[in-house]
Structures are given as structure tokens and as C-alpha cells.
């Protein structure tokens, strides 16, 4: 193995990478700012102190190539595809089915789900699998009243662990197999490393099931923190002919189709029924007054769009899928203060429907339309996007901008599912590379009306883009300066007096650390020839060393840029850099110890 002489540029690269990792972990500055600072520092270093390299110089083109990296483009495009599924509510039925199982046996169901994810990842590229389950996990976490931070990182780690079992489980495995074949080693079969891979995956999954959730901070989703999903609104639901509510009765104060909502009053003509509503069967013409969160109201509205119909005008607020749900506060100088909702004429003046009223001081009873508004009351309104945004200019109410929520465009759900299925099948069967399938899928979501351009643009996470670009720039600098080979060579020299089992364990540890700094692909390609040459120098079969590179290069748990599935769950889980260090480092150590103990027996050293 040829190693470059150490240069001051190599030491400067080490210093910059170490400083960047410290800043990432401390989170003193935003991740985007640290990534940009690292990119700028590397560009300045190699512009004013260039290295003479035989292949490609460390210039701006090479250092900034990460922005055009296929893996990054695939991740960003898959974010758009995933947003198309969320925007259309395409997975809602599957989510409801899984959430029911979670409510009955939440612990067991979570274990089974993660085990299924790991099993699928052994045969299908794990990136689309994670994309499939991100909205599922987010909704399950919401219905279990748990923050998504407890489920998203286990989702990513389970997919990575499953990818260790077969040759096609991860692109890293294929890269190592290709590099080994280039050095005239026997071809690696589909299940050649399935036994040690299954052992490591089982050990890792036990950690993911029972330990990892306790190491992660409970964080509510950003949407729930901003919108205050715990607030209760008083809402009024009219029972119309053909409605699913007809013939229903209250059970323990709740009506089954309005699950989660507390029934406060049932109005039938001039007759009012108060709890416990014994023997009251809902009929067309009844009015049900409930207390519910905006999330529950939005879900009910998605299932029963007729809830948006106003009683006064007998009109609907428009296509539910093209509407916004938002909160608006009655201003102190508003002319609607003291008036009931019946007399306000809100729909006539604004084109929006009032779905609910929230008053902090007390829980109101009676029909919603009879409530007299007070300054500070919060109205839950529904209307077309342009009508809701026009509330910014209203003198009567103050639109709470960050409370707006786009309702699912369910009439496009089948199209979104079709596009998504095509992406998964094309990538899983190898018909086209995953980046091609993902980009085509993102275009399909826009072309078929599942998303518009603005919605697709908002789905792209700039933090992810800058993290990946900075990580690939670090990898290029380490390779170009000879830093990675320098570290590997010195480890081999230092451990040369020990047996192959100790050297195998040390190499696994080094690669497991480097794969979280370099990309896993760069680590696999860089260390495969080093591992083969080391095995040959020791006079042992290279198989164990090749497998060690496969497993260690997949140990991308300690940084968000270590693997693309970590980046995919970073936003939904609201993770910080330190969360990956806290949750991923023990897993790396655990898998390293398991491999170090199992490998000598399995490979007969």
C-alpha cells in the first residue's frame, strides 16, 4: 500500500475536521453555518496551498462535488416523494391499522415493526423503506402521545442493521464486493456473510428495541409545538342525511366516528341533551357540540368533508385538499366582540368557515353558534388558501401565521401511491439507479398534482444538503492529502506484533470510526484493499477482513451524515448532532465487541 508523506496540509485537514466535529457536537452554531464554514476553510486552504496530486487536484470542483452527489440528490428527491404521500394522506389507512395495533400492545408492536423494517432492508434498498415508514412512525408517535424523536432514529438504525445481512442489503456491501473482485478475490455470494451479519443485526436490534429510546430526549414534533395541538376547541358538527354519524350513540361520552372528541351537547330542535346521553341515537338534523384538538378536527374533516359546510349559507368552503386550516385571534378593537357566531357572518365576509372556538378562561357549553365572542378568543378557521391568507389584512381577527395547516388532498392519494410504488419497484429491482427513480418520482408527484412547485421546494431540507456536501468535502480532503491511508498504515504498523484476531478487531474499530466522518462509500473503497493486503501479509484468508470492512462501513450511527437514512429522519425526529453521538456511539461499540468476540470463532483464527 502506497502512503503519501505527511504534509502540513494533511495536519491542517485533520485540525479542520476535528474542529468541525466539535462544533457539530456542541451545537453552538447552526449546523448549516458550521458546514458552510468548513467548506469555506477547505476551499481557502487548498486554493492558497494546493497539493500536487497524480489524479485530480483538490480544487473547488472536487471539494464542492458533494452538491451534485447522486446520494444527496436521491435523498432530497425522496423527501419530495415522501411529502407527496403526506400531502395526499395516501398512507392514512395503513397508519390507522398500525396505530390500532400500537394502542393494544404498543411495546410488542413497535418491536415487530422494527424487525419487519430490518428484514425488508436485507433485500430492498433501505432508503425507500425508511421513506415509507417515516410518515407511519410520525403518525403512530402522535397517536401514542410520544414525540417522534423516540421512533425516528430506531427506524433508521433498524434499516441500516438489516442491510448488513445480504450482499444487496446496502450499496456499501456491493462496493466492497466490487473492490475485492478488482483485487482478484473470489466473488462474494448473496448470503456469504449472512451468519455473522445476522448475529450483529440481532445484537444491534436488541439495543435499538430496549436501550436506544431511553437515550433519546423526548421532543414533540415541530408542528405540534408551534400549533399547540393540546388546545381544546369547541366545535359544532351537523348531522346530515347519509352522514356516518346517523344512528350512532355516545359511548362513555364519545361517539365512535368522532374518536377522541368529548361530546358536550347534542341539540335536537329545541331540545338539548347533556351528558351522559343515555339512549340518544343521532338523527339527521341533530347538532353535536364537541371539545377537540385541531388535529382531531382535521382528521374528522378529512374523513367527512361535509363538516366544512356552513349551516347559514349551505355552502362548502371549497375542495378540502386545496384548503388551509388556521387559527385567528379576535383582536381587542374588533367589531365582532359581543356578537354571536350566528350574527357575525364570518363566511360571507371572509370566505372561510369557523370550525371551532377556543377560550382560555373556561370551557364553554351550548351551541357554538350561540357563543358571544370576546377579545382573545381563538377561532379555528377553514378556507381556500387565498381566503385564509387574506385574513392578514383583516381588522377583526389576527391570523396566527404559523398555525396554518394544509389539509390532505385525498383525491390525489391513489396517484401518489402509484408514483411511490413505481419509485420503490424501480429502485428495488435495479431497473434504474435509485437517484434516477427518486428524481422521476419527485417529478411525477408534481406532474400528477400531488404537490405543487412550492410544496416540493419546502420539502427539501437545506440542512441535509449542506451536511452531506461538507461530509463529502471532508472525505475528499482526507483521501487527497493521504490522511486516511496514513491513519490506516500507522494502525497496521502498531498492531503488527499481535495476532490476526486483534488486528481484525482494531481494523473494524478504525473503519467504524472513519465511516462516520467519511462517507460509507469512500470508507469501503479506501479500506478494502488495505484489509486484503493486511490479511495476505499475515498469511490468512482475506475473507474475514473483507467482511469486517462490510460490517464496519455500515456502522454509520454516530453522525447524521454517516448514512442517508440518518439524514432522512433528522428533520422529522428533530434531532441534533449530539443525539446521534449519544444514541449511535454505544451501538458502534456494542457491534464492535460482538464482532470481536464472534469473528475468531466463526472464521477459525
- Checking if the pLDDT of 62 tops 80, the result is yes
**Three-state SS letters, 110-142:** HHHHHHHHHHHHCCCCHHHHHHHHHHHHHHHHH
The three-state secondary structure class of 301 is: helix
Q: Say which residues have a Cβ less than 8 Å from residue 430's Cβ, sequence separation at least 6.
A: none
Q: DSSP states of 368-412 as a string? A: GGGPBP-TT-EEEEEEEHHHHHGGGG-SSEEEEEEEEEEPP-GGG
- Checking if the pLDDT of 589 tops 90, the result is yes
> What is the C-alpha to C-alpha distance for residues 587 and 556, in angstroms, rounded to an integer?
10
- Checking if the pLDDT of 220 tops 70, the result is no
The C-alpha cell of 192 is what?
456469504
What pLDDT sits at residue 478?
75
What pLDDT sits at residue 265?
79
State the DSSP code for 331: P
Strands 262-268, 353-358: pairing kind:
unpaired
Q: What is the mean pLDDT of the chain?
A: 79
pLDDT tens column, 490-507: 766 777 677 888 989 988
The three-state secondary structure class of 471 is: helix
In the numeric block, the cell 420539502 is attached to 459
Over residues 44-55, the mean pLDDT reads 79
Domains (ranges, CATH) in the chain?
A: 8-221+463-602 (no CATH), 230-410 (3.30.70.1450)
What pLDDT sits at residue 143?
62
What pLDDT sits at residue 364?
62
Q: How many residues does the chain have?
A: 605
In the numeric block, the cell 408542528 is attached to 223
pLDDT tens column, 343-383: 788 877 888 888 888 876 555 666 777 788 888 888 888 88
Report yes or no on whether pTM surpasses 0.85.
no
170, 515 contact by CB (below 8 A): no
pLDDT tens column, 287-342: 888 888 777 777 777 666 656 554 434 444 444 446 778 888 888 888 888 888 77
pLDDT tens column, 470-480: 877 877 787 77
Amino acid at each position: 500500500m502506497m502512503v503519501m508523506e505527511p504534509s502540513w496540509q494533511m495536519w491542517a485537514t485533520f485540525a479542520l475536521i476535528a474542529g468541525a466535529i466539535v462544533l457539530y457536537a456542541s451545537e453552538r452554531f447552526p449546523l448549516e453555518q458550521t458546514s458552510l464554514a468548513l467548506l469555506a476553510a477547505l476551499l481557502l486552504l487548498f486554493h492558497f496551498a494546493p497539493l500536487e496530486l497524480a489524479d485530480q487536484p483538490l480544487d473547488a470542483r472536487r471539494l464542492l462535488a458533494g452538491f451534485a452527489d447522486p446520494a444527496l440528490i436521491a435523498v432530497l428527491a425522496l423527501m419530495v416523494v415522501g411529502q407527496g404521500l403526506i400531502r395526499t394522506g395516501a398512507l392514512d389507512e395503513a397508519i390507522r391499522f398500525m396505530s390500532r395495533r400500537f394502542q393494544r400492545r404498543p411495546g410488542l408492536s413497535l418491536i415487530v415493526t422494527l424487525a419487519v423494517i430490518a428484514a425488508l432492508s436485507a433485500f430492498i434498498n433501505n432508503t425507500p423503506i425508511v421513506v415509507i415508514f417515516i410518515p407511519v412512525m410520525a403518525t403512530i408517535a402522535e397517536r401514542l402521545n410520544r414525540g417522534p424523536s423516540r421512533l425516528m432514529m430506531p427506524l433508521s438504525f433498524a434499516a441500516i442493521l438489516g442491510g448488513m445481512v445480504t450482499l444487496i442489503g446496502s450499496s456499501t456491501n456491493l462496493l466492497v464486493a466490487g473492490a475485492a473482485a478488482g483485487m482478484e478475490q473470489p466473488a462474494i455470494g448473496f448470503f456469504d456473510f449472512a451468519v455473522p451479519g445476522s448475529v450483529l443485526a440481532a445484537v444491534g436490534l436488541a439495543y435499538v428495541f430496549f436501550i436506544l429510546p431511553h437515550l433519546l430526549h423526548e421532543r414533540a414534533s415541530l408542528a405540534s409545538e408551534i400549533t399547540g395541538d393540546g388546545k381544546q376547541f369547541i366545535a359544532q358538527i351537523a348531522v346530515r342525511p347519509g352522514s356516518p354519524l346517523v344512528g350512532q350513540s355516545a359511548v362513555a361520552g364519545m361517539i365512535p366516528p368522532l374518536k377522541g372528541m368529548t361530546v358536550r351537547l347534542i341539540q335536537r330542535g329545541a331540545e338539548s341533551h347533556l351528558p351522559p346521553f343515555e339512549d340518544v341515537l343521532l338523527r339527521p338534523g341533530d347538532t353535536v357540540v364537541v371539545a377537540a384538538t385541531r388535529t382531531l378536527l382535521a382528521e374528522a374533516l378529512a374523513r367527512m368533508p361535509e363538516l366544512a359546510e356552513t349551516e347559514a349559507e349551505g355552502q362548502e368552503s371549497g375542495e378540502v385538499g386545496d384548503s388551509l386550516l388556521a387559527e385567528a385571534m379576535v383582536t381587542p378593537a374588533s367589531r365582532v366582540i359581543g356578537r354571536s357566531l350566528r350574527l357575525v357572518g364570518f363566511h360571507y365576509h371572509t370566505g372561510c368557515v369557523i370550525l371551532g372556538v377556543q377560550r382560555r378562561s373556561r370551557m364553554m357549553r351550548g351551541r357554538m353558534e350561540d357563543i358571544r365572542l370576546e377579545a382573545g378568543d381563538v377561532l379555528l378557521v377553514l378556507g381556500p388558501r387565498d381566503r385564509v391568507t387574506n385574513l392578514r389584512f383583516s381588522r377583526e381577527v389576527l391570523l396566527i401565521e404559523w398555525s396554518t395547516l394544509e389539509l390532505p388532498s385525498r383525491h390525489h392519494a391513489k396517484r401518489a401511491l402509484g408514483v411511490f410504488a413505481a419509485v420503490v419497484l424501480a429502485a428495488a429491482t435495479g431497473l434504474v439507479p435509485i437517484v434516477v427513480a427518486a428524481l422521476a418520482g419527485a417529478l411525477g408527484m408534481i406532474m400528477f398534482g400531488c404537490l405543487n412547485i412550492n410544496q416540493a421546494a419546502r420539502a427539501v431540507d437545506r440542512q441535509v444538503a449542506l451536511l452531506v456536501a461538507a461530509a463529502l468535502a471532508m472525505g475528499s480532503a482526507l483521501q487527497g492529502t493521504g490522511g486516511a491511508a496514513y491513519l490506516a498504515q500507522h494502525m497496521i504498523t502498531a498492531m503488527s506484533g499481535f495476532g490476526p484476531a486483534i488486528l481484525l478487531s482494531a481494523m473494524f474499530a478504525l473503519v467504524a470510526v472513519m465511516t462516520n466522518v467519511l462517507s460509507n462509500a469512500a470508507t469501503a473503497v479506501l479500506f478494502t484493499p488495505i484489509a486484503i493486503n493486511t490479511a495476505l501479509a499475515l498469511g490468512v484468508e482475506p475473507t474475514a477482513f473483507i467482511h469486517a470492512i462490510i460490517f464496519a462501513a455500515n456502522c454509520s450511527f454516530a453522525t447524521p451524515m454517516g448514512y442517508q437514512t440518518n439524514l432522512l429522519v433528522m428533520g422529522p425526529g428533530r434531532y441534533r448532532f449530539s443525539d446521534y453521538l449519544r444514541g449511535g456511539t454505544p451501538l458502534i461499540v456494542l457491534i464492535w465487541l460482538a464482532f470481536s468476540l464472534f469473528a475468531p470463532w466463526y472464521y477459525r483464527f
